[in-house]
Structure 1
């Protein structure tokens, strides 16, 4: 019996194939840091200006449809350059401040519309920092569970198509699945210019039996 089982295993033929499924989706969640920097030699005047600018930003966000639950006020950060030994000889303002707020929303379209109207803040002397890596807008897609079944089915079907072609080219018949493994899903920006558009990918690995 042991010898017979060994002969069967030696005669067993299989083929391992992979199937890829990709889908483009729109981000459904966005984190937008709305921050700016300011400076002055008069600390009291700087603080007063920060409060005024923060009120203007909040009014701007409210005007563009963001409610209080989507806006989080950040604690202003103020640096006294005179208190730092390495910068005592530097020219410029003594106090450097960074302040603003963060928007967390499930409606990215509102952020896009607000970004197109940032000039209205610039006219009030508020230059929103956008090039800083820490202040970049982050777009996310959270609906993966809704598209998982469809994408796994598509990846598995493509794997089967590859296996059928291999079987045909080798004058074999494709049998049942011996084993299958679903790879991890990945979500990435479609490109650097449209981070709100995401590409979702998954690769499925399937091993089929072959027969003559």
Structure 2
């Protein structure tokens, strides 16, 4: 049968027009989606100063002697004196834990053979774990009473430093996250205003990790809590 060329050409034109229209629709749809997804990413910072609620205070000292029995007897006497001092400062037995003394026999070491000094060196003492940092600060200022009894508390050793902690982070988390989010929104509103746009809804939000550090080196009992929230907003013309 002869082919009807007119119908064939017409069908081709229809298919071509359909493809053009489809392409145009796809392009405009993509353009609309991109226009809808104009966004701005901002960060909001929240900081709060808090007081430490828990403290660990290592109360340690060193002593030395050539006679181990005499050294250990002196360690027991000094431990009793330290405990009495701590009780006088208001600490309960539950807040005080005695550590086993660490004894070093310098004669058993291969180095410093020419400068041995005392043969036995003891490191002993106890640790205070308290939820009342003010008591520790007060007791710390009275260490001269132990010094008068011949007990020199080690303070310059990193392992024996007083450690202040803040353990009530969960109580202030919601308020700080809300504040950080508000700060982020303020930044986003300013950006939208400067770019002649309208701020839309939140597309995504991410809470950063909380950090707790000393406010400064002179006041370790005062902590600075910090969190950064990242928020992405839609923008509209």
After TM superposition, is the score higher than 0.5? yes
* Cα deviation digits, residues 133-179 of structure 1 (max 9, x gap): 01011110001000000000000001000000011101111111111
In structure 1, C-alpha distance between the alignment counterparts of 2:91 and 2:68, rounded to whole Å: 31
Structure 2 partner of 1:8: 32
* Cα deviation digits, residues 87-130 of structure 1 (max 9, x gap): 33224111111000011111100000000100000000000001
In structure 1, C-alpha distance between the alignment counterparts of 2:38 and 2:235, rounded to whole Å: 5
Which residue of 64, 83, 108 corresponds with 2:133?
108
Structure 1 partner of 2:175: 150
3-state secondary structure, aligned to 1:38: strand
Structure 2 partner of 1:133: 158
Structure 2 partner of 1:99: 124
Q: Displacement, 1:46?
A: 0.7
* Cα deviation digits, residues 66-106 of structure 1 (max 9, x gap): 11111110001111111112233224111111000011111
Q: Displacement, 1:5?
A: 4.4
In structure 1, C-alpha distance between the alignment counterparts of 2:111 and 2:236, rounded to whole Å: 77
Structure 1 partner of 2:198: 173
The count of residues paired between Structure 1 and Structure 2 equals: 212
* Cα deviation digits, residues 32-89 of structure 1 (max 9, x gap): 0000000111111111110000000000011111111111100011111111122332
Please tell me the root mean square deviation across aligned C-alpha atoms, in Å: 1.2
State whether structure 2 residue 96 is matched by structure 1 residue 71: yes
Structure 2 partner of 1:189: 214
3-state secondary structure, aligned to 1:18: strand
3-state secondary structure, aligned to 1:110: helix
Structure 2 partner of 1:29: 54
Which of structures 1 and 2 has the bigger CA Rg? Answer: 2
Q: Which consecutive residues of structure 1, in runs of 5 or more, have no partner in the other structure?
A: none
3-state secondary structure, aligned to 1:195: coil
In structure 2, C-alpha distance between the alignment counterparts of 1:204 and 1:84, rounded to whole Å: 55
Structure 1 partner of 2:10: none
In structure 1, C-alpha distance between the alignment counterparts of 2:205 and 2:135, rounded to whole Å: 42
Q: Which consecutive residues of structure 2, in runs of 5 or more, have no partner in the other structure?
A: 1-21
TM-score scaled by structure 1?
0.97
